[in-house]
Amino acid sequence: MEAKFISHDDTTGWLDALSEQHVVLAPMWDNTVVTFRPHVKGRTPVLDRMPVLPPKEGVFPQNEMLLKYKYDKDPENLDRTSVQVKETLPQDTAVVVGARPCGTRGMTVFDRVYNCEKIRDPYYVGRRENTLFVTVACTRIESTCFCHDVGSHPADAEASDVLLVPVAGGYVAEPVTERGNALLDSPFFAPAGERSAEAAEVKEKNRAKLPAAHDYTGCGEKLMDRFNDLAFWEEQSAKCISCGACTYLCPTCYCFNITDESVGLTGKRLRTWDNCMSFQFTLEGSGHNPRPTKAHRLRNRVNHKFAYYPDLHGGAIACCGCGRCIKSCPVSVDIRAIVRAAQTYTPKPAPEGGDER
């Protein structure tokens, strides 16, 4: 597998060609924000920034129909109904172009849960195995970025099939997998040649832009130490407004809800993104809610990413460090600060003359 070069002008033509065979999801302007949308021939993808919405949409769409159903009433006996069910498994092959390394790497968090020995989710796996990721190495380090804190870097090719590195005039395309290599078998590409050296330089330069990495080693235990300290979580969650911006924009949040949406005698069973910051997420049929306040819910979100998940999956942190949850939070809740607060927690000294019983 060798690195190749594609000019800026040719990227659109390449995506046009790819879209003949696959659904191509690429970032585009949707009014004033950039989101992933299917590529339409002739449209230039927006590859110079991180899209607002995460690339998980390509494999784990916000609305996914699991099956369709239809009730038939027996005309002889209206009490008797039969139901027809039609499964709707994903069929298309897809290429997700233009995600950042952080977003693409988020898919590994999904894989450990939906495609493992215990569970093989047919809908997820159906899409995952037929979806390739063409990732763009990151050149824009924002104040909310912390991919390097969670063990990645701006040119990380983990979970990608091709890595595009921006160089003068275009991109150096580095194949990562065999299937990714096949995507580069196209007349729009030329051998990278000396540009490979430039690409290596770009990668190095952007890596150097990041501040020293924060060490999250052992943060899981520290967070678990605070598990029963609700005062700690009330303080950390005080400004949280309990909306779902952080979870819906997160490339690693994989929770879903299943509902039947009926109209008359027909309907569909839907799988939709769910949001652990919502009161309804854990609301039980009895009316009891084990996570009644936002403190309980934020504790779950942070701990899930930095304590429970690593505990179950060999220490892997379920956060890709893209910073969307910080950047898009209406009140700027900073997940990094919460984990750090747990890591550096020291009990407050008892006030003088206080009750010492």
Positions in the binding site for another protein (CB under 8 A): 25, 28-33, 35-38, 40-44, 46, 52-53, 57, 61-63, 140-144, 235, 238-239, 241-245, 247-249, 257, 259, 261, 270, 272-273, 275, 278-280, 294, 326, 328, 330-334, 336-337
Q: Of 227 and 279, which CB lies nearer to another protein in the complex structure?
A: 279
Q: What's the longest Cα–Cα distance across the chain?
A: 83
Cβ at position 235, least distance to another protein in Å: 7
Q: Rounded distance, CA 309 to CA 231, Å?
A: 23
Q: Minimum distance from CB of 252 to another protein (Å)?
A: 16
Distance CA 269, CA 272 (A): 10
Beta pairing, strands 4-7 & 190-191: antiparallel
**Minimum distance from CB of 74 to another protein (Å)?**
26
| Nearer Cβ to another protein (189/273) | 273
**Minimum CB distance to another protein smaller for 52 or for 316:** 52
The nearest distance, CB 16 to another protein, in angstroms, is 10
What is the Cα–Cα distance from 141 to 149, expressed in whole angstroms? 13
| Residue 135: other Cβ atoms inside 10 A | 30
Q: Between the CA of residue 152 and those of 45, 129, 146, 159, what are the distances in Å?
A: 25, 23, 9, 12
Strand ordering across the sheet containing 131-136? 94-99, 131-136, 162-167, 170-175, 4-7, 190-191
**Nearer to another protein (CB atom), residue 307 or residue 338:** 338
Q: CB of residue 254 vs another protein: minimum separation in angstroms? A: 15
- Cβ proximity to another protein: between 33 and 119 the closer is 33
